[in-house]
Chain A
Amino acid sequence: MRVQMMTSTREPTPAAGRPAVEIAHLRKTYGALVAADDISFSVAEGEIFGILGPNGAGKTTTVECAVGLRSPEAGTIRLMGLDPQADRDQVHEIVGVQLQASAFPAKLRVGEIIEEFRSFYRHPADVTNLVEALGLAEKRRDYYRSLSGGQRQRLSVALALIGDPKIAVLDEMTTGLDPQARRDAWMLIESIRGRGVTIVLVTHFMEEAERLCDRVALIDHGRLVALDTPAHLAARARGGKSVRFLPSAPFDDRLLAGLPEVTRVEHEGQHVVVTGTGELVTTVIITLHAAGVEARDVQLDASSLEDAFVRLTGTHPEGEQS
């Protein structure tokens, strides 16, 4: 993917105090299938943490163990220091969950479903705000069965947030949403994080992970294959970034190849492509300028999270146009 500039390179929020989510050596099998194999990671409070991976990689299993829907065979899980199996009462009070493919009775109205779920919690969120933020205000009198796929998805997200959770676990939150609704959902997630809620996001949309997540865990065949910021993962995918430009005059490749930041110099017609790390662009331009050569038509060729996904898992993220 070719971009003008990588705008957001957020660093992970430093873990102040105990992490919101701690998973250590999680293992879960279904018969011969190892769905989760020695998975460990922790999520800082207030972080948006993405879980990425191909279909059947073990993302959902990991998340279902984390929220206490399944009990792990081995390993420990702590949510705000609580064990989802032993302390399930407290965990259910502070963790909001949006499950993949969950439906509600066809002939209940949206408002009735929301009221029912609200009554489950001792300190529920403000329903009016939530319904407004998710664009469901006009739908409160409608039957569940009359909702579109995107509206059902938004209701499901609303119900995950209705208990005013400290941790929200959202499994494929924006699947089935149109691009506009997806962007609205992203803004909602960012505003929820702004209130200090920790968010664990299972997704297969690379754009979503790049845009929203502080860090992502890439899971493949039940194993954690990478854990880093989206920007770092992307950079690692190609062993660096590259800069492409049109030189104003010919120059000796060794001028750039000798720089510590540069790993490779190639020619593409009249253009030169320099691959490397660190402050690559600045270094290349300054060095050329000192030699009396001007770099024109400069394009930074950054590898994307999708490149990292493809390289690390050997598969393409489904649902993405490449």
Chain B
Amino acid sequence: MSLSMAARPMAPRAAFGQIVRNEARLAWRQPAGLIVGIGISVGLLVIFGEVSVFQQSSARLGGLSAFDVYIPILIAFAIAIIAFTYLPGPLVSYREQGILRRLSTTPVPASWVLAAQLVVQACLMLISVLVLLIVSIVFFGVNTPKSPGGLILAVVLSIAALFAIGLAIAAVARTPGAARGIMAAVLYPLLFFSGLYYPVQLLPGVLQDISHYTPLGAAVQAIQISMNVGFPPVTPLLVLVAYALVFGFVAKRFFRWE
């Protein structure tokens, strides 16, 4: 089947809005993504915030409290969990059910559904990030970000990198079950290197270096520095860009429409 990713000028623009609307309805009616993405990360935030030991600053964590360290991790976690548990599922099942094939017989390219998914899920991610920031600032006295611009850039690049990885998985997985399997196998090691289970700062040097070159490790690093220090250094940003480009290419190259 020869389908082009290029947008065709024939299809009415309003069609994209209609697709986004329906994808948003589906996200609302099957709220696994909302619950997992926003619920779990906000839940963890509240738990950590209530545990007083997390509030004490620690020299081992570079003068930050465990809570300060965890907020960027939870932000990266919220993005990753949506990209991984929610993005590939609909796309793989649309392919399996022949929806992408059916669309490719209409004036609208099947890639519009994919783009609509990205729009809806990017919105979910941004809502999660905003909720996390607002709750931590308003209720737990966390300082406002030192570099809001850096934070926005770090979040956007993190979303791009994790989307690319999620799409690459959707591209190669044949069934929704296979997609979930690959997802879990990739997500948990990435979460380890993000510091969700154990602070990266306390890991041995080699593991810390590895962490900085994993997508979530780089995301956490860039977000953490934006929040507590200032504009993030170039290395974690470039790591995120590299993941976005490489996996974006893999996804485009191997995505099967049927």
Contact = CB atoms under 8 A, between A and B. Distances in A.
- Is A bound to B? yes
Contact of B14 (A67, A89, A105, A119): A119
Given A105-B26, A120-B108, A70 B1 contact: yes
Contacts of A122: 10, 12, 107
B205 interface: no
A115 B105 contact: no
Nearest to B23: A105
Nearest to A99: B102
Given A108-B26, A120-B106, A102 B101 contact: yes
* Residue among B14, B22, B26, B99 facing the most chain A CB atoms (10 A cut-off): B22
B8 interface: yes
A120 B1 CA distance: 21
A85 interface: yes
Contacts of B102: 97, 99, 102, 159
B99 A102 contact: yes
B2 A71 contact: yes
Contacts of B11: 120
B105 A97 contact: yes
B18 interface: yes
Given A89-B10, A122-B12, A107 B26 contact: yes
A96 to B, nearest CB: 8
Given A102-B101, A108-B25, A119 B2 contact: no
* Residue among A88, A95, A112, A120 facing the most chain B CB atoms (10 A cut-off): A120
A93 interface: yes
Interface string B93-126: 0100111011011111000000000000000000
Nearest to A117: B106
Given A69-B1, A103-B99, A120 B12 contact: yes
A89 B17 CA distance: 20
Interface string A166-202: 0000000000000000000000000000000000000
B104 A69 contact: yes
Contact of B99 (A88, A90, A105, A119): A105
Nearest to B103: A120
Interface string B1-17: 11000001111101101
Contacts of B106: 92, 117, 120-121, 163
13 contacts: A67-B105, A69-B101, A69-B104, A69-B105, A89-B10, A92-B106, A99-B98, A102-B99, A102-B102, A116-B15, A117-B106, A119-B15, A120-B15
Interface of B: 1-2, 8-12, 14-15, 17-19, 21-22, 25-26, 29-30, 90, 94, 97-99, 101-102, 104-108
Given A95-B105, A116-B18, A102 B12 contact: no
Given A102-B98, A120-B107, A112 B22 contact: yes
A249 interface: no
B105 A104 contact: no
Contact of A121 (B19, B101, B107): B107
B101 A90 contact: no
B18 A89 contact: no
Contacts of A104: 97, 99
B22 A92 contact: no
Contact of B98 (A68, A103, A119, A121): A103
